[in-house]
């Protein structure tokens, strides 16, 4: 029986880490710093440096804690960087929240449950960061007889616009939309 020869590379082969997609949410604040998140992230809203060089610094700021809006930087971020970032986060908070809500939908980090005329939205299910929000169907649908007929299959999340969406099976103009950033996070 002949021995099979296997060719081997001359040097050490390093396994490449899979490339992570990233979303840049805040650009050039302060100059040369872009902030956002990667496709594989912690289930808690934050921004972090996503450029090559500042990313090596691993700057991260948490923007929520158990469903409450916060601005909690991890240690080591220079004060001038934090001041510039916080100013923009405050100014653009609704947009940042909506971007994160879209990310949550795409990651499967949101669930909705209907019971007794109340929609319960579960954020980050089965994680330590889990929290829930409720909204009465009557707040979304003014007509009581229509509101009473809402079923679980009439509730969805719209990732394109970061909305809680009622009646997704209907044409766009007939659906009811509520921005998730208004439901999920409290000040």
In this structure, of 29-43, 48-62, 103-117, 166-180, the range with the lowest mean pLDDT score is 48-62
Q: Report residue 132's pLDDT band, with 50, 70 and 90 as the boundaries.
A: very high
CB 181 within 8 A of CB 162: yes
Extract the runs of DSSP E, i.e. beta strands, from 2-151: 22-26, 35-38, 46-49, 60-65, 68-73, 110-115, 118-123, 131-136
For the entire predicted model, the pTM comes to 0.85
The span from the CA of 5 to the CA of 89, in Å, is 60
Q: In this predicted structure, what is the pLDDT of residue 57?
A: 75
Model confidence band, residue 55 (pLDDT cutoffs 50, 70, 90): low
Ramachandran angles phi, psi of 129, nearest 5°: -90, 10
Split at pLDDT 50, 70, 90, the class of 30 is very high
Share of the chain above pLDDT 90, in %: 77
Radius of gyration of the chain (CA): 22
Query: In the chain, which residue ranges form alpha helices assigned H by DSSP?
Result: 52-56, 79-91, 93-107, 137-140, 144-147, 180-184
**Which helix (H) or strand (E) covers residue 158, if one does?**
strand 155-158
pLDDT at 13: 42
Strand, helix or coil for residue 32: coil
pLDDT of residue 186 exceeding 60, the answer is yes
Q: Binning pLDDT at 50, 70 and 90, where does residue 178 land? A: very high
Query: What is the tens place of the pLDDT at every residue in 80-117?
Result: 999 999 999 999 999 999 999 999 999 999 999 999 99
Among candidate residues 85, 83, 116, 104, the one with its CA nearest the CA of residue 157 = 104
Give yes or no for residue 41 having a pLDDT over 70: yes
């Amino acid at each position: 029986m002949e021995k099979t020869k296997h060719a081997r590379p001359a040097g050490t082969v390093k396994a490449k880490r899979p490339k992570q997609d990233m979303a840049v949410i805040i650009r050039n604040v302060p100059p040369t710093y872009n902030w956002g998140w990667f496709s594989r992230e912690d289930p808690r809203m934050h921004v972090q440096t996503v450029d090559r060089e500042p990313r090596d610094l691993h700057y991260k700021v948490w923007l929520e804690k158990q469903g409450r809006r916060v601005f909690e930087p991890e240690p080591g971020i220079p004060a001038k960087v934090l001041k510039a970032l916080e100013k923009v986060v405050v100014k653009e908070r609704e947009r940042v929240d909506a971007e994160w809500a879209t990310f949550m939908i795409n990651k499967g980090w949101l669930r909705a449950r209907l019971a007794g005329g109340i929609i319960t939205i579960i954020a980050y299910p089965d994680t330590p960061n889990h929290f829930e929000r409720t909204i009465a169907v009557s707040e979304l649908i003014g007509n009581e007889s229509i509101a009473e007929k809402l079923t679980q299959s009439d509730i969805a999340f719209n990732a394109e616009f970061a909305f809680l969406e009622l009646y997704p099976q209907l044409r766009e103009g007939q659906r009811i939309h509520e921005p998730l950033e208004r439901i999920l996070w409290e000040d």
